[in-house]
Amino acid sequence: MTAPRTLVQKIWDAHRILSSEGSDLLFVDRHLLHEGSHHAFDKIAAAGRSVRHPELTFGVADHYAPSHPDRATADTLTMIDRLAVNTARHGVRSFGIGDRKRGIVHVAIPEQGLTLPGTIIVCGDSHTATHGAFGAFAFGIGASEVAHVLATQTLWQKPPPMMRITVSGSLPPGTTAKDLALHIIGRIGTGGATGHAVEYDGSAISAMTMESRMTLCNMTIEMGARSGIVPPDDVTFAWLAGRPMVPQGACWQDALAGWRQLRSDPGAIYAREVVMDASEVAPMVTWGTSPEHVAPVTGNLPKGQPEALEYMGLIAGSPVEGIEIQRGFIGSCTNGRWSDLLAAATVLKGRTVRVPLLVSPGSEAIAAQAEKTGIADLFRAAGAEWGSSGCSLCVGMNGDRVAPGERCASTSNRNFRGRQGPGARTHLMSPAMVAAAAVTGRVTDIRKLPLADISEFADSGKTGT
């Protein structure tokens, strides 16, 4: 009999082709590309190789996609065109500008039903861990590894140590998966899960929607982890059912039967265990230059991080609530989904922003749903800029920038120095908290604001179907 195995170890075992000197050659089920993948295409061209499995490879224009046509530069257009040319040359399906299925890769690909339980998914982007929300083993890879997968559909990897984070109880009103993720990072630090494959467990995780699970797995990378995963369940299967590229008919029933077996064994061993109660989570705000520089909105700034506080222009010991904000951003692969827009809309309805707010939906399908239901008009009526889908102000490489010295309340995943532009100061928080900051001009506890009824804008249809 074999020893009890974790879910990631089971997926790993099922994909192992051979082993050598402590590493395993794994088969890759889905290889996702974006504009930055052009170096890998150059490498296989120089070696005279072609894409081994174009039918398992998918491109998405997102990092350089401008949120407004006027912000497109020669560099951004060149990068987008390179992706289109390279994927077309190798017969790879790519969702480019103008494609209704396009969006941020970690939003649009799941919408199409390409992210499935039990698969191995890789992409030249660290936040590929997002797809672990579906019970997939998903992780980011470097340029040379992208070339290897293009040429062979395989990848050499060393088995990562396993880690389990168990979250019991329920998230309090006014808090979200983003707050939980920042709470965990604040507790264990950005190195607290370094190199680990993190599995999420507990009643608070089971109660989460798929979009919340995607946010949580997305932010797992900010703990230093290799990947994050949530075992698939009925919530997963209901979200996937009927999407364009999932198995259909009898194949769907066969797939379900297999997916229901994707659980860690009782007694499986984890190198590290973290246990916490969701009731302890509050609306969180980052104040410094690392995701671990975070505090509850009701907290005060620490006295032990002078360099980070100086960069941010903040005073040690002062309250987090009330920090002035000059700009807001709602979007990214962390919080650009339909539920994120709805959460922000409950704050913005009937109010007007005091600072510029850019809203960039996570996919063209979400943008279309927002137009259809009227949510997009609600944002416009509040004075927000409604941008096109893409990575937008998260990465600052597509024409969107935060000016030097400006503070931006952002739903993105990183607050590094210059992440949103040279000299930019980023405060990470949930979509509703960003909306609250935009209408008040300062960091505001969302629990103090009356929220609007937006049921008139609700649409039960699935984005992307």
Secondary structure (DSSP) of 450-465: PPPP-GGG---SPTT-
In a domain, 61, yes or no: yes
Average pLDDT for the chain: 97
Domain count, the chain: 2
Query: pTM for this structure?
Result: 0.97
Residue-range definition of the domain harbouring residue 423: 285-457
Mean pLDDT of 120-141: 98
pLDDT of residue 460: 62
- Last residue of a domain, which of 274, 303, 326? 274
Mean pLDDT of 439-443: 98
**Claim to verify: residue 240 and residue 98 sit in the same structural domain:** yes
Query: What SS3 state is found at 128?
Result: helix
pLDDT tens digit sequence for 138-169? 999 999 999 999 999 999 999 999 999 999 99
Give the H or E element holding residue 168: strand 162-168
**Claim to verify: residue 266 and residue 319 sit in the same structural domain:** no
pLDDT of residue 462: 83
**Claim to verify: residue 237 and residue 327 sit in the same structural domain:** no
pLDDT tens digit sequence for 153-209? 999 999 999 999 999 999 999 999 999 999 999 999 999 999 999 999 999 999 999
pLDDT value at 421 more than 80:
yes
Q: Name which of 196, 187, 176 is nearest 428 in CA terms.
A: 176
CB distance 450 to 230 below 8 Å: no
pLDDT of residue 290: 98
Strand partners, 227: 197
**Token duo for residue 181:** 């993720």
pLDDT tens digit sequence for 337-381? 999 999 999 999 999 999 999 999 999 999 999 999 999 999 999
pLDDT of residue 465: 80
Query: How much of the chain exceeds pLDDT 90, in percent?
Result: 94
In a domain, 337, yes or no: yes
Amino acid present at 199: E
pLDDT tens digit sequence for 283-300? 999 999 999 999 999 999
- Say how many residues make up the chain: 465
pLDDT of residue 305: 94
